[in-house]
Each structure stands twice: as C-alpha cells, then as structure tokens.
Amino acid sequence: MGAGLAVLGVAAGAAACGDDDTGGADAAPIVVTSSIAGDVVRNLVGGDVAIEVLMPPNADPHDFAPSARQASHLRDADVVVVNGLGFEAGLDDAIDAAGDDGAAVVALAELAPDLLGDDPHVFTDPARMAVATAALAEELADTVEGLDTPAYRERATAYVEDLEALDAEVEQVLASIPAERRVLVTNHDVFGYFAERYGFEVLGSIIPGGDTLAEPSADELADLAAAIDAAGVPAIFAESSAPTRLADALAGEGADVEVVELYTESLGEPGSGADTYVELVRTNAQRIAAALA
C-alpha cells in the first residue's frame, strides 16, 4: 500500500495548485457544479481542457444559486458534470436549461454502484467514488473533443488507483475504533455510504433528512440527546459548510459530547486540510478516529 499512497500524495498536491477555471469571459467546455466533483474532474482532465467549477469552497450546495454569468456558461458548455440525486437543488433549473440547449449532463453520483435510494452523498465512500470516477472518465473521453488520448487515459487510471488506495488508507486509519464506538451523530444525514463501507451505525442526525435548510423540533432534539446519552456517544460531527449552532444546542441538552467539525459537502479553503477530495476524505477519517477511538 505504501507505493500507492505515495502516488496518491502527488496527485492530491497537483490538484491543489490553483484553479484551472476558464480564466476569461468565455464558457469552458466542461462546467462542474460542486467543488468536490470539480476536483475529481480536474484530476482527470489535467490541463488538457478548461473547466469551470461553480461552487466555491465551503458553499452549501443545497441552496447555492448560479449568477447570471454562471447560468450562461452552463448553457454554453459541452458537458455539465453534476453530483446529482437532488444534491444541487438550487441549480436544477439552470442544469435543465443547459441540457435543453444541447449540453451533455453527467451525474457523478449516479455512476456509483449500490446507491442507497436517493442519497446523493456517494463521495463519503472513496471506494464507490473510484467506480464512479472510472465511469466519468469514459463519459468525458467520449464527449469532450481532445480528451480521448493515451495521456488522458493514463492520468484517469492513475487517479482511480489513488482513490482505491485512499479507501484502504481510510480503513487503516479507522481500525483503531472498536466496534461498539463506531456510532455517528451528524448535523444532517450525510454519512450513509461511509457508514456502510466502514462498519458504522448512524445513530441520528440533528437536522432531519438530507436538507441542511430544515430544522429539528425541540422534541426531536430531546429524543436524540437521550439516545446519545444512552449510547455513550463521545462526539457530534458538524459540517464545515453548515453552522455548528444545532450541534452545540444538542450538546447543551445534557449530552456530554465534543463537537467535531468535518468537511462533507464541499472542499475547504486552501490550507484547510480539505482543499482536494483526497485530503477531505483523509482529514475526516483522521478526525473521526481521534474522536471515537
């Protein structure tokens, strides 16, 4: 595994070196909605084709709406890469318009195997993401002029191998957590795929459902606090893209727990330890292990 991780580190570092968006007023051939999907596409494409990523770091994808310029660029793109499964609801009309104008719309999450219903948070499982990324690489090679080259396919193969190595690394990092402590309480329902992959139970989420715009009732908070107390959960995991107010309120319900920030639906700012998808997954695994081991 050591050799694979060495390659992984090189790929992650390369992806972090600046944003290769359009750099001008013209639309890029590839427009990507979320920062996580954008980093995946950057690693596949390299500098061969310009891309534009709509959401900045720490954006909440559930309520992000495009500017007039971004909406225009979506409609002019050859390919629009979305997460899909309702992840970027504020962009739905603009994405539909881009498809109507002839853009190929590719949903990264829908390329992953064994989906958990309509849960869009496939990226919390790097093993599923490796499969989805391999399929995305084929879609882009077939659709974007100039990408179907040996160099592109070599780069795509190497990145998929990096994601497979990342999955093995995460499993090793989490190995220190005993089975009885593999319990997650999060701001909202994000970690279903992670839990299934690595043997965790999701005890509950503070915000009901998958939408960060919803708020729990006082009774829901009290019930979850009681469940946390009964299970002896030592930490609540709050998202960097959402305020920790609700997690702090739950901790104040009498649950003696630490509130730990994770990066879930968006990359972090440069230097955050989560400014690439690989770093995001690694940092989250390390913080979960530190809180629960």
Task: Give pLDDT tens digits along the chain (293 positions).
Answer: 333 332 333 333 333 333 444 444 578 999 999 999 999 999 999 999 999 999 999 998 988 999 999 999 999 999 999 999 999 999 999 999 999 999 999 999 999 999 999 999 999 999 999 999 999 999 999 999 999 999 999 999 999 999 999 999 999 999 999 999 999 988 778 999 999 999 999 987 776 554 444 566 777 777 777 877 788 888 888 887 665 666 676 666 655 678 899 998 999 999 999 999 999 999 999 999 999 99
Rounded to the nearest 5 percent, the helix, strand and coil shares of the chain are 50, 15, 40
Q: What per-residue string of b and e applies to 184-197 under the rule 16 or more CB within 10 Å gives b?
A: bbbbbbbbbbbbeb
What is the reported pLDDT for 185? 85
Q: Give the residue among 182, 216, 226 at the shortest CA–CA distance from 201.
A: 182
Q: Which residues pair with 207 in a beta bridge?
A: 188
Longest Cα separation, the chain: 59
Q: How far apart, in whole angstroms, are the C-alpha atoms of residue 278 and residue 293? A: 22
Residue type, 142: D
CA–centroid distance for 254 within its chain: 31
DSSP string across 58-90: T--TTT----HHHHHHHHH-SEEEE--TTTTGG
Phi (first) and psi of residue 262, to 5 degrees: -120, 160
Sign, Cα dihedral of 185, 186, 192, 194: negative
Rounded to two decimals, the pTM is 0.85
